[in-house]
Chain A
C-alpha cells in the first residue's frame, strides 16, 4: 500500500520532481499532473456538495418539527391536595407535587440522567428511575447517583384556586429553591 501511494502532484513542483525521479519510474508529464490536480479539486468539491446537501436536508427537518407552543394545563383545584401529595399528569408528562409547606411544584417526568420516565414510589416517598437507579426526593433533588441534576420543573401559577402549569418547556435547575414552587 505504502509503495504504490504517491503524494498528489503539485503543479508548481514539477521542476523539483525531475531531479528526484528514482526507481526508474517514468516522469509524469506536466499535463498529467494538471489533470490529477483537477481530479482532486473535483473530488473535494463533490464532498463539500454532499455535506451541504446533507446539512440542508437535516436542517429543514428540524424546522418542521419545532412546533411546541405555549400552552397551559389545568391541574385541578388547590383544595384537592394536601402536603406530600404527588399527582401524575400524563398529558403533560409531569408530576404535580404538593410540598410539605403547601407549595406546588411541577416536576418533569424525565430523569435528568438519560431521560427515562421516573415513577413515584409511594412507600419509599421517592422517584426511582427504572433505567439506571437514580433516586429523587419530593422536591426532585437527587438522593442517589448517577443523576447529577435535580428533576426539571415547569412554572406553576395559581389563579382563583386553580393550579395552572406552563408546559411550554421544562426548566433546568442546579438545586431546589422555594421560588420554583407556587404558593396560594
Chain B
C-alpha cells in the first residue's frame, strides 16, 4: 500500500546532481562495511541494535525465557517439517504411521520425541515468559502493544499443542477432539455452526482430522511466524528489554551487541536445544491405544496444560467454564497494561522485596483457595440431588462467579487501602492469586482425579 520508498526516489533523483551521489555513497559504505564482513552479522543487526544497555544483559532479569521460547519454536518448525515425510493424516493409517516411526526408521521416532517434548517445554517457557513480563514491570506504555502480540503468541502455542496431540489419532486424540468440538458448540450464537464446521459434520471422522491437520501444519505456523517477527520488532522499537534506569532517568551504559548479547543468546538457545535433544533421546513421546469411538478411557484426561480447564468444567455450568470465564480472564489480562500505573517498577522483580513477599503470599493463597473451593463443591455435588433448586446456570454459574469476583475485589481494596500497597502491587497480587488458582486446578485435575473423575489420592 505504501508508495515507492523515499530512498529509491532519492537515488534516482541523485543521478543528476553533484552532492547527493557522494553523500549516498558514503552512507552506503558505512552499512556495507558492516555487512561485508559477514552476512550473518548484517542479519544480527537487523534484529538487534548495535549496542544494548548493559543492565539488560543480567541473566536474572529475563532468565533468557524469550530466547528459549524462540529456540523451541525453531526446533518445532524443523522437527515438524521432518515428520510430514512419515506421518499420514488419515484416520485409518495415522496411528500406524506413528508406530512405524519407531519401528522401521527409529530416527523418525527421535524427531517425534523432539517435537513432542519441545512443545511441552514451550508451554512452560511461554507461561514463565509471560509471568516474567508482568513481574518485572515490562508491560508499560511503550510495551503494551507487544504484550497483546505476546498473548496472541501464547494462545497460538496452546492451540498448536492441542491440534498437535489430535494428530496421532489415539484414544486421547479422539476424545480430545470430540470434547473440543462439543465445547465449541456451547459458545452462544455462532457456536453450533462453528462446531459443525470444525468437525466437518455431525460425527468425528476423517474431515475432523483434515481440519485440525490443516490448522496445525498450516495456519498456526504461518500466524506464529508473522506474530513472532512483529514481537521481535516491537522489542527493538521499545529499546530492548525493560531496565531499572527507565525509572531513575539515568542514561544506560551501553555495550556492543556482538559479542556480549549474541554469545549469551547462543548459550541459552544451544543449552535449551541440548536439553530437549537429550530428553528426547532418553524418553519416548507417549502414544495411547488406537482411537476407539465406542469407549472413552476412564478417566479421560486432557494434556496437563488443559487439566485446569477440565477441572473447571467439573465445577461450572459449561457456558461459564468454556466461554464466559476464559474470555473474561483473557480480556482482563490483555487490558492490564492499559490501566494507568498498573506496571510495577521496571526491571525489578515484583517491584522490590516487599512485593516479592506479597507475590508469594498471593500465589499460595490462590492455591489454597482453589483446594478449598474444589472440596466444598465436591461436598455440595454429592449431597444434593439432581432435580429441584435453582437452574444450573444460576447455582453453578452466576453465583460462584460473582463470589469469585467479589472476593478478588475485596482483596484488592484490602491491599490498596488497608495495607498501603500501590495499585501496581495490588494488581500484581490479583494476577498471582489467579495464577495460583489455575495451578491449583491443574494439580488437582492431573494428580487427584481417579476413575470417573472422582477425587482420589495420588497414591
**Using a CB–CB distance below 8 Å, which chain A residues touch chain B?**
1, 32, 35-36, 39-40, 43, 58, 61-62, 64-66, 68, 90, 93, 109, 113-119, 121, 128-133, 137, 141-146, 148
Contact (Cβ within 8 A) A117 B296:
yes
Contact (Cβ within 8 A) B386 A144:
yes
| Given A113-B318, A133-B453, A119-B298 contact (CB < 8 Å) | yes
Contact (Cβ within 8 A) B315 A130:
no
> Top 9 nearest A-B pairs by Cβ distance?
A65-B201, A130-B298, A133-B453, A115-B182, A116-B296, A114-B182, A131-B300, A114-B179, A117-B296
In chain B, what residue has the closest Cβ to A63? B201
Contact (Cβ within 8 A) B300 A130:
yes
| Given A130-B296, A133-B454, A114-B381 contact (CB < 8 Å) | no
Q: Which of B439-454 contact A (CB under 8 A)?
A: 451-454
Contact (Cβ within 8 A) B296 A35:
no
Q: Which of B226-240 contact A (CB under 8 A)?
A: 237
What would 24 A/B residue contacts be, using CB atoms closer than 8 Å?
Answer: A36-B1, A36-B3, A39-B1, A40-B1, A43-B1, A61-B200, A62-B196, A66-B201, A113-B318, A117-B296, A121-B452, A129-B296, A129-B452, A129-B453, A130-B297, A130-B451, A130-B452, A131-B299, A131-B300, A132-B310, A133-B314, A145-B386, A146-B313, A148-B318
Asked if B349 is at the interface of the complex by the 8 Å CB criterion, the answer is: no
Taking CB atoms, residues of chain B closer than 8 Å to A114 are 178-179, 182-183, 313, 318
Contact (Cβ within 8 A) B197 A58:
yes
| Given A114-B179, A116-B178, A130-B452, A65-B205 contact (CB < 8 Å) | yes
Taking CB atoms, residues of chain A closer than 8 Å to B197 are 58, 62
Cα distance, A36 to B2, chains bound together (Å):
7
| Given A40-B1, A62-B196, A146-B182 contact (CB < 8 Å) | no
Cα distance, A142 to B381, chains bound together (Å):
12
Taking CB atoms, residues of chain A closer than 8 Å to B145 are 1
Cα distance, A130 to B301, chains bound together (Å):
9
Contact (Cβ within 8 A) B453 A130:
yes
Q: Residues of B within 8 Å of A, CB-based: how many?
A: 45
Taking CB atoms, residues of chain B closer than 8 Å to A143 are 385-386
Q: How far is the CB of A116 from chain B (nearest CB, A)?
A: 4
Contact (Cβ within 8 A) B381 A144:
yes
Majority SS at the chain B contact face = helix
**Which of B200, B237, B318 touches A65 (beta carbons < 8 Å)?**
B200
Contact (Cβ within 8 A) B314 A146:
yes
Taking CB atoms, residues of chain B closer than 8 Å to A137 are 386
Cα distance, A133 to B450, chains bound together (Å):
10
Identify the interface centre among A35, A61, A131, A137: most chain B CB within 10 Å of its CB.
A131
Q: How far is the CB of B223 from chain A (nearest CB, A)?
A: 15
Asked if B396 is at the interface of the complex by the 8 Å CB criterion, the answer is: yes
**Which of B293, B315, B382 touches A146 (beta carbons < 8 Å)?**
B315
| Given A65-B200, A90-B294, A130-B299, A146-B453 contact (CB < 8 Å) | no
Taking CB atoms, residues of chain A closer than 8 Å to B183 are 114
**Which of A117, A118, A148 touches B392 (beta carbons < 8 Å)?**
A148
| Given A114-B183, A114-B313, A145-B381, A133-B452 contact (CB < 8 Å) | yes
- Using A64-B207, A132-B313 as known contacts, list a sample of 8 further A-B pairs with CB atoms less than 8 Å apart, ordered by residue number in A: A40-B1, A68-B202, A113-B318, A114-B178, A131-B453, A132-B453, A133-B314, A133-B454
Cα distance, A79 to B207, chains bound together (Å):
42
| Given A39-B1, A132-B310, A133-B453, A145-B295 contact (CB < 8 Å) | no
Cα distance, A9 to B417, chains bound together (Å):
50
| Given A43-B1, A66-B201, A119-B315 contact (CB < 8 Å) | no
Cα distance, A62 to B193, chains bound together (Å):
11
Asked if B169 is at the interface of the complex by the 8 Å CB criterion, the answer is: no
In chain B, what residue has the closest Cβ to A38? B1
Contact (Cβ within 8 A) B386 A142:
yes
Taking CB atoms, residues of chain A closer than 8 Å to B454 are 133
Asked if B175 is at the interface of the complex by the 8 Å CB criterion, the answer is: yes
Cα distance, A141 to B385, chains bound together (Å):
11
Taking CB atoms, residues of chain A closer than 8 Å to B315 are 146
Taking CB atoms, residues of chain B closer than 8 Å to A144 are 381-382, 386
Q: Which of B163-197 contact A (CB under 8 A)?
A: 175, 178-179, 181-183, 196-197
Contact (Cβ within 8 A) A119 B196:
no
Q: How far is the CB of A41 from chain B (nearest CB, A)?
A: 11
Asked if B316 is at the interface of the complex by the 8 Å CB criterion, the answer is: yes
| Given A32-B3, A93-B294, A62-B201 contact (CB < 8 Å) | yes
Taking CB atoms, residues of chain B closer than 8 Å to A113 are 182, 313, 318
Q: How far is the CB of A180 from chain B (nearest CB, A)?
A: 17
Cα distance, A65 to B318, chains bound together (Å):
28
Cα distance, A142 to B451, chains bound together (Å):
19
